Amino acid sequence: MAVVERIAATRAVTRKRKNRLDRGEGRTAFFFLLPSLIGVTLFLVVPIIASVVLSFTNWKLLGQPQFVGFANYIKLFTADPQFWPVVRNTLFFTFEYLVLNIIISLGLAVWISSLKMGQRWFRVIFFLPTFTPGIAVAIVWMLIFAPGGFFDFVTGSLAIHLPNLLTDQKLAMQAVIIVSLWAGVGYNTVLFNAALDMVPASYMEAARIDGASAWDRFWKIRLPLISPTLFFGTVMTAITSLQVFDQIYVMTRGGPGSATATLGYSIFQKGFQNFQMGYASSIAWVMFAMIMALTAFQFWLQRKWVHYDN
Amino acid sequence: MANVTITDVVKNYGHLEVLHGVSASVADGEFVVLVGPSGCGKSTLLRMIAGLESISDGDIEIGDRVVNDLEPKERDIAMVFQSYALYPHMTVRANMAFSLKLARRSKDEIEQMVNRAAEILDLSTLLDRYPRQLSGGQRQRVAMGRAIVRNPQVFLFDEPLSNLDAKLRVQMRGEIKALHQRLGATMIYVTHDQMEAMTMGDRIVVMRAGVIEQIGTPLEIYDTPANSFVASFIGSPSVNLIDGVVQTQNNQLVLQADDGAIWPLPSNVNVKAGTPVQLGIRPEHIYLDPAGLPAEAFMIEPTGADTHVQLRVGKQLLIGVFRDRPDIALNATFHVRPDVSRAHVFDRVSGKRIGA
Amino acid sequence: MTTKTKAKANARRTLALDILNHGALALVALLFLFPFFWMVSNAVRSNAEVLAIPVRILPAVFEWDNFAKAWTTLPFGRFFLNSVIISVSVTVITVLVSCLSGYAFARLKFPGRDKLLMAYLATLMVPGIMLIIPLFLIVNKLGMINTFQGVILPVAFGTFGSFLLRQFFLSIPLELEEAARIDGASRLRILISIIIPLSMPAIGLLSLFTFIAQWNNFLWPLIVMTGADNATLPVGLTLFQTQQTTAWNYIMAGATLSMIPGVILAVVLQKLIYNSISLNAGMGGR
């Protein structure tokens, strides 16, 4: 009996000691994660929660925040005369920019991949604006679009009668889109070009032997094969374009009138010019909802056009 | 130098138990091979000795010190990995010196120890190369060099030769054995290759499905396998196993095979009539004998020195190994005599050996 | 015609088409580069010439010292330094923090690891502009408005780096690490001596993209750095925009300065950039 107990006791002791190795690993993990956890908590988790809470208050930076329930959201959707135009501007920008960006970058990618020499240099050229500050880009373009500037000079020389882009209610957004395209097509061009490079040559050769024309080879072989990458590029571009801010801040400040005011610009304006922190936060959540909705829509749509080989 | 004692060691991952309480001991300076099919737990056991896996239950002692909770570095062991695991961004010299640097040895000491190890393994001219510039055999030697610089109590090898081609494997086998004799250190060697186990081990531990099936010297295991698994795992080509039931015929115990044929049993076997058993006959114990049983060869595979013949006696399929080139023609009848006195008998239910 | 001359004619025709194809795209590329040219061309002329109507493609008088003037008087030199301090600090902190946490996610066992990783991944979905307001309030609360730490710290703890490095660390053979443990290395030593040296491609990539993102960042430094002396280059560029007599030539000189690091990195590291983007293309949202 005593012997049995002693054995049981030693077993218990060894069992307890057993996990020391694993426990040491857990402790190491804790210390390795600590800097990241502190940073993520303070600058990511707390702000996310704070943003939700703020959107239900009327805080104006000075004074005490007051809980106002859904008042901000109700005001946005029903009372604020600026809100719906801003949503419309944002969607207009996103749609036109997205479509043109994908068409242009895909076109450039296909064109570059048809070259026998110098592919990488063309890629670098179109990629350059991606690595330069958007603000600097916008300022340079602002000079180009300035009244009497280079753009007016070109249209004038070609006898095209256009009002100045930046000061025209209808055309200002087009100017913003041109600048955004110039700055933004490079990344997708390289992305799609890389995807085209990865299509095994044997597929194209097989299609050629099967008698497919160059036209068919593009639409029926290459495009479906890179469709997952096209989808990825489309989703990422849509997410960034809904947040557009830099170009508008520099070139138009949302004007003329509110012709180019977008959600991103509204958040800045309400938050940091009017200091309506609560109201601006509610706009941020509307933007987040739109990003999620658009992404979900694209994922739904992808079943119709994206081909995965597995 | 040290002995290694493994007592009732259990390993489980969550609810899955992969080692079911194994015990074994390795004497100081002994070369022990852990062998078994993949998934038998031999590598897990080795990694538990190394301290790379925690021990779920039981104890492991190295040199009379329980090491269950010690980090690998505190166990005074060295290990050679299957992939060699050489640090790709370090030269051969830096690879070998890494552990010494971590142990804060002096520069001169490190220099001296690395050079000594390099000399033993014939690596002196390769010290400033990177692993990618070395051949497979050279990498293997660097991996061993990294192990021996520290003069550890115990060397652990995890299938160190399986990435080499056949010829190099035989050569390195010899080199590892020579190294063992030179250093006289305790070595534990994991392999799935029974040939490596037979040729290298002072003793062999045969494992299957998380349990130890048998521990013994190579010849003990070959000559008296503890069960039918060990018998068929060790030896190539594999032992012939004939299923049947023990019968008495003319006052002698015989085996009535499932196909009805009658086979003699070893005379001294201690078994009752009616017991279902397996009769194990090694291929090399089947001899050509004009007075023997009629057999028909359906495949003949000459290996040069020997000839492997797949043959049929009645309905029973057997494989025989004959020296040189026996006079056997494909699909023709010839006569064979199994040497029953050296055959093994196993209980068909438990698989256990039935001895004299 | 013999088949041989026919083949020759064909080859000549393909060659001609090829040259035409290259030439046409070269033309497009040149047009694409025009804004860069326009920027530099306007940086080296007098402000009166910038505003002159009709526009001149090339300056009548090249004023190369505009760069020096913009550097010292406006003071883009100061802005450049601020941008360097902020971008480099964020990059260094991001890489260090991501190495540690990425290693923990890749190689250390601890309870709740996979859930925490999923939480990290989820934060990648949150667009940066949404957090601007609460981040500003936090920085304000910490008394770090108009300070370098105020602009650096809130953007230095992104979860992307942890995830990227975790993925790369997982591709390093586990046996290397086990060999190092047996050689007596601690986890920190393994990270420093084995994992990090072998992960330089991924760390380089993380550094490059973090640096560029911060160098180009506008909204965040605009909000936090309220003092003109503390402005970064992008913010500095906009400071002079609203003045009555906008010195366009100096602004163009400043814009040129602000683009130099990115252009150099894009050209020098084109292979690394292409490889990283083709990795994205390969995964293609899968």
DSSP string, B296-346: EEEEEEE-SSEEEEEEEETTEEEEEEEES--S--TT-EEEEEE-GGG-EEE
B25 located within any domain: yes
**Contact flag B89-C185 (C-beta cutoff 8 Å):** no
- Report the pLDDT value the prediction gives residue B200, as an integer from 0 to 100: 93
Express each pLDDT in B98-155 by its tens digit. 999 999 999 999 999 999 999 988 899 999 999 999 998 899 999 999 999 988 999 9
In this prediction, residues A165-186 reach a mean pLDDT of 92
CA–CA separation, B86 and C199 (whole Å): 16
- Rounded CA separation B336/B309 (Å): 11
Which residues from chain C sit within 8 angstroms of residue A54, using beta carbons? 133-134, 137
Within 8 A of C180 by CB-CB distance, chain B residues are: 87, 98
Identify the residue with better confidence: C60 or B317.
B317
Provide the shortest C-alpha distance from residue C94 to chain A (in Å). 9
Q: Do C180 and B71 touch (CB under 8 A)?
A: no
Q: If you average pLDDT over residues A231-252, what whole number do you get?
A: 90
Residues B156 and B286 in one domain: no
For residue B203, what are the domain limits?
A: 4-225
Residues 60 through 119 of chain C touching chain A, CB cutoff 8 Å: 96-98, 100-101, 103-104, 108-111, 113, 116
Verify that B212 and B251 share a domain, yes or no: no
Determine, yes or no, domain membership for B232.
Answer: no
Q: Does C137 touch chain A (CB under 8 A)?
A: yes
Chains with at least 3 CB pairs less than 8 angstroms from chain B:
A, C
Q: Which of A51, A131, A190 sits opposite C131 (nearest CB)?
A: A51
Q: How many residues does chain B have?
A: 356
Averaged pLDDT, B301-305: 90
In-domain check, residue B311: yes
pLDDT of residue C2: 63
CATH of the domain at B272: 2.40.50.140
Most confident range (mean pLDDT) of A152-161, C58-67, C88-97 is C88-97
Q: Has residue A4 got a pLDDT over 70?
A: no
Do both B255 and B176 map to the same domain? no
Q: Are residues B278 and B303 in the same domain?
A: yes
- Examine residue B120 and state whether it is found in any structural domain, yes or no: yes
pLDDT digits (tens, 9 = 90+) for B1-38: 589 999 999 998 888 899 999 999 999 999 999 999 99
The pLDDT, as a whole number, for residue A1 is 39
Residue B104 with chain C: CB contacts under 8 Å: none
Chain B CB within 8 Å of residue A18 CB: yes
Q: What is the pLDDT of residues B327-341, one digit of tens each?
A: 888 888 999 999 988
Q: Which two tokens stand for residue A191?
A: 């992305």
Res. C158: pLDDT tops 70: yes
Confidence of residue C69 (pLDDT cuts 50, 70, 90): confident
For residue A15, list chain B residues with Cβ-Cβ distance below 8 A: 57
- Position C215 confidence tier, pLDDT thresholds 50, 70, 90: very high
Structural domain contains residue B75? yes
Amino acid at B3: N
Rounded Cα–Cα distance for residues A94 and A243 (Å)? 9
- A194:C218 CB<8 A: no
Instruction: Using alpha carbons, list the distances in angstroms from residue A218 to A104, A106, A207, A310, C177.
Output: 16, 12, 10, 21, 47
Token digits of residue C198: 């072998």
Predicted local distance difference test score (pLDDT) of residue C242: 62
Question: Which residues on A lie below 8 Å from B59 (Cβ)?
Answer: 14
* Percent of chain A scoring above 90 in pLDDT: 40
Q: pLDDT, tens digit, for every residue of A129-174?
A: 999 999 999 999 998 998 888 998 888 888 888 888 888 888 999 9
Q: In the structure encoding, which two tokens stand for residue B103, read together?
A: 């142990």
User: What is the per-residue pLDDT across B192-227, written as a single tens digit (0 to 9) for each?
Assistant: 999 999 999 999 999 999 999 999 999 999 999 999
Rounded to whole angstroms, the maximal C-alpha distance in chain A is 110
pLDDT digits (tens, 9 = 90+) for C219-278: 999 999 988 888 999 998 888 776 556 788 888 998 999 999 999 999 999 888 888 888
A188-206, pLDDT tens digit by residue? 999 999 998 888 888 878 8
Query: Is the same domain home to B94 and B174?
Result: yes
Question: Which residues have a Cβ under 8 Å from the Cβ of B159 and sit 6 or more positions away?
Answer: B43, B82, B190, B191, B192
| Chain A residues with beta carbon closer than 8 angstroms to that of C264 | none
In percent, the amount of chain B with pLDDT more than 70 equals: 99
Q: Is residue A99 scored above 50 in pLDDT? A: yes
What's the rounded mean pLDDT across residues B74-89?
A: 92
Contacts of A36 in chain C (CB under 8 A): 97-98, 100-101, 157, 159, 162
If one counts every other C-beta atom within 10 angstroms of the C-beta of residue B180, the result is 19
Query: Is domain C90-216 in CATH 1.10.3720.10, yes or no?
Result: yes
**Interface subset of A 230-289, CB within 8 angstroms of C:** 231-232, 235, 239, 242-243, 245-246, 249-250, 264, 267-268, 271-272, 277, 280-281, 284-285, 287-288
How many angstroms separate the Cα of C60 from the Cα of each of A152, A157, A162, C50, C251? 20, 21, 28, 11, 19
**For A102-128, what is each residue's pLDDT tens digit?**
999 999 999 999 888 889 899 999 999
Domain boundaries, chain C: 90-216
Q: Is B271 in the same domain as B204?
A: no
Using the 3D structure, point to which of B192, B225, B258 is the last residue of a domain.
Answer: B225
Count: domains in chain B: 2
Q: Using CB atoms and an 8 Å cut-off, which of residues 66-105 of chain A contact chain C?
A: none
Residue of A nearest to C191 (CA): A32
Top pLDDT among A4 and A131 is at A131
DSSP C102-139: HHHHHH---TTHHHHHHHHHHHTTS-HHHHHHHHHHHH
B101 interfacial to chain C (CB closer than 8 Å): no
Identify the CA nearest to A85 among candidates A76, A95, A72.
A76
Residue C52 C-beta-side C-alpha neighbours within 13 Å: 15
CATH number of the domain encompassing residue B207: 3.40.50.300
Residues of chain C neighbouring B52 (CB-CB closer than 8 A): 178, 181-182
Do B242 and B119 sit in the same domain of this protein?
no
Asked if the structure places residue B327 within a domain, the reply is yes
**Would you call the peptide bond into B237 cis, given omega within 30 degrees of 0 as the criterion?**
yes
Per-residue pLDDT at B230: 95
Q: Answer whether C182 sits within 8 Å of B79, measured CB to CB.
A: yes
Give bridge partners of residue B317 from the DSSP assignment. Answer: B312
Residue B230 placed within a domain = no
pLDDT tens by residue, B236-245: 899 999 999 9
- pLDDT over 90 for what percent of chain C? 55
Question: Dihedral sign, CA of A227, A233, A235, A238?
Answer: negative
User: How many CB pairs lie under 8 A apart between chains A and B?
Assistant: 22
**CB-CB contact of A255 with A173 (8 Å):** no
- Asked if residue B144 is part of any domain, the answer here is yes
Interface test with A, best of C37, C113, C130 (most A CBs within 10 A): C130
Cβ of C136 and A187 within 8 Å?
no
Among B96-100, B298-302, C14-18, C199-203, name the one with the lowest average pLDDT.
Answer: C14-18
Pull the structure tokens for residue B77.
């062991």
B55 plus B199 within the same structural domain: yes
* Contact check, Cβ <8 Å, A133/C258: yes
Q: Per residue in B101-123, is it b (16+ CB within 10 Å) or e — as a string?
A: bbeebeeeebeebbbebbebbeb
The pLDDT, as a whole number, for residue A12 is 43
Q: Which of B164, B199, B225 is the C-terminal boundary of a domain?
A: B225
CB A284 within 8 A of CB C135: no
Residues B248 and B167 placed together within one structural domain of the fold? no
Q: A16 and chain B: CB distance < 8 Å anywhere?
A: no
Q: Chain A within 8 Å of B34 (Cβ-Cβ)?
A: no
pLDDT, tens digit (0-9, with 9 covering 90-100), for B258-285: 888 888 888 888 888 889 999 999 999 9
Res A72: pLDDT = 87
Q: Nearest-CA distance from A85 to chain C in Å?
A: 20
The proportion of chain C whose per-residue pLDDT surpasses 70, expressed as a percent, equals 95
Residue of chain B with shortest Cα separation from C177 = B85
Contact partners, residue A26, CB within 8 Å, separation at least 6:
C108, C109, C110, C111
Separation CA A216–CA A214 (nearest Å) = 6
**Residue A2, pLDDT above cutoff 60:** no
Nearest Cα to A82, choosing from A241, A309, A265, A294?
A265
Q: pLDDT grade, residue A41 (50/70/90)?
A: very high
Nearest to A17 among B51, B69, B71 (CB): B69
Q: For residue C182, which residues of chain B lie inside 8 Å, CB to CB?
A: 50-52, 72-73, 77-79, 99
What is the structure's pLDDT at A5? Answer: 44
